[in-house]
Amino acid sequence: MMSQMRHFSLKMNDGHTIPMLGLGTSAPSQVLKSETEMAIKRAIDIGYRHIDSAHLYQNEEEIGRAIQMKIADGTVKRDDIFYTTKVWGTFFRPELVQTNLERSLKKLQMSYVDLYLLHHPEALQAGEDFFPKDTHGNIIFDTVDLCTTWEAMEKCKNEGLTRSIGVSNFNCKQLERILNKPGLKYKPVCNQVECHPYLNQSKLLEFCRSHDILLVAYATLGSDARKKWVIKNKPRLLQDPVLNAIAEKHRRTPAQVALLYQLQRGVVALAKSFSEQRMKENFQVFEFELTPEDMESLDGLNRNMCYLQDLFSGHTDDASYGND
């Protein structure tokens, strides 16, 4: 049963496995880089083996240092860690996709990552600015065919720089563009999107399942309002009365219930917390089980509500978007 699944993983469509519970590492700018390094070391000591980051988060040097220290002290081997990074839109030109990955690998002091994702479906003007803008403050996009970007991702996998490749923040139509690409060598193993009881992504989950693509959920507990891309004044998920009633019934925390909701749907869940106590609590999520009635009640909380803004169109609702 669930209590025996402390290190439970799911098999991806390329044969590799991914731990169902991961640690998200995006943090508000107020958080010191040294805190990220300490948090990763704590997380590995607690038992986390799945760590999710990205070029955009600007913390891979600290994460790499923490992982290398835990390898050096014998806590883990490199193969014990499942590490995800993402290629940002300014590197979507095919000749830049591997460059982005090699930058991450150098910072991480690793020879490969376990999962490399397209961070979002839009190509941005190449350069060092994460959000290139014109004189009117509008984002400058690039005319890159995502299918050619995907071919460069496939090359990274073939060359052993990443074990698996996937996407993030894609909707069904955008996924279909990749899936229907002539000469497709590897389809995405996963689609990482904002997903929580207020935005349960049921249609997208069904679509992904039908194509043997895993859904990976970020913002599973809501999101930190200090982040500049988080929409302000949204209802706080962890204060929801239904969620709290279920938590009280099981003598668990609302966060544990929100995480287990995803795991029991077959969704990989990323939990973002640098607090040692909360990291420990979140890691105890496999020690109980939600009933079918609990799951039905949590399904009923869906309101198609995003916590994270669409960073490029300005839309703030009804989208599977953002970065955690």
For residues 203-238, one letter each, b for 16 or more C-beta atoms within 10 angstroms of the residue's C-beta and e for the rest, the string is ebbebbeeeebbbbbbbbbbbbeebeebeeebeebe
Annotation marks residue 57 as catalytic: yes
Write down the catalytic residue from 57, 83, 198, 218.
57
φ/ψ (deg, to 5) at 18: -130, 130
119 belongs to an annotated ligand binding site: yes
Contacts (Cβ under 8 Å, ≥6 apart) of 185: 154, 158
Q: Taking the alpha carbons of 162, 167, 173, 174 in that order, is the dihedral positive or negative?
A: negative
The residues annotated as belonging to the active site are 57
Residues annotated within the binding site are 119
Residues annotated within the binding site for substrate are 119
